[in-house]
Amino acid sequence: QSALTQPRSVSGSPGQSVTISCTGTSSDVGGYNYVSWYQQHPGKAPKLMICNVSKRPSGVPDRFSGSKSGNTASLTISGLQAEDEADYYCCSYAGGYTFRGVFGGGTKLTVL
């Protein structure tokens, strides 16, 4: 089981936009619209930011948006704020003989 591929780090200045990619295969990201994104601050539990590729849960700022093209999903954060600095993980449902979940390796976002 291979993890989804994310860049190890991205950075941006306050007010700018950044995009984090998440590449999988046709058996996970490309095959289902069950891609989710999580934000994790140090020492804290992860927080769901995007589900079902592009749906924002209640309370998540509209600066966060998700999309998917083929086997690659993306998380875009616009109007960067200092509190956005965190680790971000993508996750996908994966089918097959039995279901499974698969996470990306995580991306460290630094707000300069």
Partner 1 sequence: EVQLVESGGGLVQPGRSLRLSCAASGFTFDDYAMHWVRQAPGKGLEWVSGISWSGGSIGYADSVRGRFTISRDNAKNSLYLQMNSLRAEDTALYYCAKDEVAGIAVNLESWGQGALVTVSS
Distance (Å, rounded) from C-alpha 85 to C-alpha 81? Answer: 8
> Is there binding between residue 21 and partner 1 (CB under 8 A)?
no
Contacts of partner 1 in 82-101 (CB under 8 A): 87, 89, 91-93, 98-101
Among 17, 105, 110, 112, binds partner 1 (CB under 8 A): 105
Query: Mapping DSSP to helix (H, G, I), strand (E, B) and coil, where does residue 90 land?
Result: strand
Is-contact 33 52, C-beta < 8 A?
yes
Q: How far is CA 40 from CA 45, 70, 88, 109, in A?
A: 6, 26, 6, 10
Asked whether the beta carbons of 49 and 60 are under 8 A apart, the reply is: yes
Which residue lies nearer to partner 1 by CB, 64 or 89? 89
**Is 24 near partner 1 (CB under 8 A)?**
no
The candidate with the shortest Cα–Cα distance to 54, out of 80, 73, 32, is 73
Identify residues 26-45 at the interface with partner 1 (CB under 8 A): 34, 36, 38, 40, 45
The answer to whether 3 contacts partner 1 (rule: CB under 8 A) is yes
- Which C-beta is closer to partner 1: that of 2 or that of 13? 2
Binding stretches for partner 1 (CB under 8 A): 1, 3, 34, 36, 38, 40, 45-48, 51-52, 57, 87, 89, 91-93, 98-106
